Each structure stands twice: as C-alpha cells, then as structure tokens.
Amino acid sequence: MTLDDLPTPCLVLDRGILQRNLDTMARALARHKVPLRPHLKTAKSIDVARMAITGQTGAITVSTLAEAEYFVGYRIHDILYAAGITPQKLERVVNLNRHGANVIVITDDRDMAAIIAAQNMPPRCLIEVDTGENRGGISAEGPELMDLAGRLGPALAGVMTHAGHSYSGRSVAEMAAIAETERAGITLAAGRLRAAGYKISIVSMGSSPTALHATHLDGVTEVRAGVYMFGDLFQVQILTHGLDDIAVTVLTSVIGRRPRESSILVDAGGLALSKDRSTAATPNDYGFGLALNLQGQFRYGHAIVDRAYQEHGVIMCDPAHPIDLPIGGKLRIAPNHTCMTVAAHDRYHVVDGSDDVIAIWPRVNGW
C-alpha cells in the first residue's frame, strides 16, 4: 500500500523523522545526565511510546486517564498523570495502582491533598509548582508548599513544574533563560521540602523548548517533553525544529480548483487540521497549515491553508510554485500545532522516507 491508496484526510507519520527527533532530545538530555519521562499526550500511541522510552527509564507522562489505562494495558507502569487530580479521577488511579500500575498524581490544592492522603492505598503524589506559566501550581517560595506537604504526608513523592511559557520564547537564549527559571524554581521547592525532612525522590520539570535548550539541569531528576517527537510549524517558528523535522502531516486530496484565483480546495478542513492558529503570532503565519507535496517535501513555496471550514480547506497557492494537481490528486499539510491536529484522527499511517505505508499505528483519543 502506498500513500496514494489511502482515503483522505488521514495522518502520515514518518518514522525516520520521528527517530531523529527522539535522538535529538535524547542527546540534549544526555549532556545533563538527566533521564526523559516522555509525554505521550501528543502521540497517544504504544508504538511511539516504545520508541520514545528506549534508552530512558521506561517511565512516561500522560495527560488523560484514558492514556494511563491504555499504556498500563501494554505494561507501561511508571506513569505520571500531569494534570490536577480530582476525587473522581483518583478512584480510577487507585484502581489502576491496585492492579500493579504506579500512576503518580499531581495536586496544588490543600483539600485535594488531604483526600489523597486519606486513601487506603494513596498513589504517589507530586506537588505542582508554578515557575512562571501561571496556569497550575503554587509558588516555590510561599507557605503553601509546606502546608501541602504536611497534608500529603507519606504520599508526597516529589515536586513538578511545567514552564509552558517557554513557547512564547523566540530565541535560544530566551528559552535557555526560561529553562533556568524552571530549574531554579523546582529545585528550590525540592530543597525547602528536604530541609524540612521530607523525602523528595522526584524533581520533575519540562517542556520541549526548555528540555532542548537548558544550559544545565542540576538537581532535576527527570525531564518531561512531548511535542518534540513530531514537531510542527509552530515549533519551527520557535527554533526547536526545522521544516524537515516535522514527522506528522495530514494527507489530503484536491476537491476543487480555481486556477484564476491561484487557489485549490482540499478535503482537510478544520476537523482534520484543527482550528489552531498558533503561528499567527510568529514571524511566519501559516494559516491553518503549509502545503507539501505527496512526498512531504517543501515544493509548493508559501502555499498555506488560508481558510478552514469543517471539511474544506482553501489553499492559497504561491504564484511562483503553482500546485498543478487534478481532482483527487494528493498532497500533505504540515500542521501548526501537532497535538491538536493528530487528536482528530484515530491512527497513523507510517512511512519511512518513501510513499510506502509500512504500518498503521492506532491512537487512544478521548478521556
């Protein structure tokens, strides 16, 4: 089977590019001698997970309990569920752990900490620390840290943070500076807890930009990152990937042609691509995605999906590089934000540098 045989729209994953991205991240962290706990929120695939944990400790991060349950089914047991736990979700975690898993939860809430500690078999819990993203987490410096630790008691296993604001960095220097803020904040929290007598075995930080660009990671026990595996146009704009490092694209077919307007209509619209417009705030605005040829090569110039309807995408062609395809002709779209784009699809069609589809890898969507 080749790409030309596939019904569209669908996802194409280039295994060679994925492997290169995994190697780049592994090298970046090996410099600091810190292992990676890859975040599977983007890939949501056991096949990708197996590649990503190779050479690491075997631990992973997830963003949903559906992912946790799926990966436990494949005997990946050391799992950090990196979104604030609730009482109802705690029941699912306790159930997984009762059957041999080691799902670690996070909290930044004093009531929730008490509920975790009150379990018969409490999961290990990390305190979420805010190092500048201003989303979840408490201050590394304030009194809440000790209050939470006291409430968690023996369930306390460590601290974690996510410097998600690194995605607003636009230079390596900026991202390195944010990485150092992230590192300094989380190790400060760990140090305060240790000084108070708590055993802190996990000091976890990470985002793809800070993981790649940190200058040192002293005191950190693990790094989390996810989107680095696949890359996307936004990552290209913030200098963590090149255009050739985008591993996942959307295969699409021409369904209309307007040569007088230099536009074509394709069957990848807002559902197949997502409505994410993150490149709007970057030097190159790619609309809803960049058109590549069937082989995934940059041959159409600045041909972008200018408008995205539910099942229609309007590509405005680059006059210097017209797209001359018949109805049904296929091309590929590089996504703005791969996490959002892949979530609309239930599988990857895997290639390795050619048109041949060498495997189909399912994804676990939903919650």
Residues near a copy of itself (CB under 8 A) are: 7-10, 41, 63-65, 83-89, 92, 107-109, 111-112, 135-136, 164, 253-257, 265, 267, 270-272, 274-277, 307, 309-312, 314, 326-328, 337, 339-340, 343-346, 365-367
Which of 130, 318 has the CB closer to a copy of itself?
A: 130
HSE toward the beta carbon, residue 180, CA cutoff 13 A: 8
Which of 182, 276 has the CB closer to a copy of itself?
A: 276
Q: List strand residue ranges (DSSP E) for the chain, in order.
A: 10-14, 60-62, 78-81, 102-107, 125-128, 156-160, 202-205, 222-223, 248-258, 263-266, 290-292, 304-308, 313-316, 330-334, 347-351, 359-362
We find the least distance from the C-beta atom of residue 263 to a copy of itself, in angstroms, to be 9
We find the least distance from the C-beta atom of residue 199 to a copy of itself, in angstroms, to be 25
Instruction: With beta carbons less than 8 A apart as the criterion, state whether 117 and 151 touch.
Output: yes
Which of 288, 300 has the CB closer to a copy of itself?
A: 288
We find the least distance from the C-beta atom of residue 150 to a copy of itself, in angstroms, to be 18
Taking residue 295's Cβ as centre, other Cβ atoms within 10 Å add up to 13
How would you class 71 by CB atoms within 10 Å of its CB: exposed for 0-12, middle for 13-18, buried for 19 or more?
A: buried
Which of 161, 221 has the CB closer to a copy of itself?
A: 161
Q: How far apart are CA 61 and CA 49, in angstroms?
A: 10
Which of 19, 282 has the CB closer to a copy of itself?
A: 282
We find the least distance from the C-beta atom of residue 36 to a copy of itself, in angstroms, to be 19
> 337: which DSSP letter?
-
Which of 20, 257 has the CB closer to a copy of itself?
A: 257
We find the least distance from the C-beta atom of residue 218 to a copy of itself, in angstroms, to be 28
The amino acid sitting at 69 is E
Q: How far apart are CA 103 and CA 26, in angstroms?
A: 24
We find the least distance from the C-beta atom of residue 321 to a copy of itself, in angstroms, to be 22
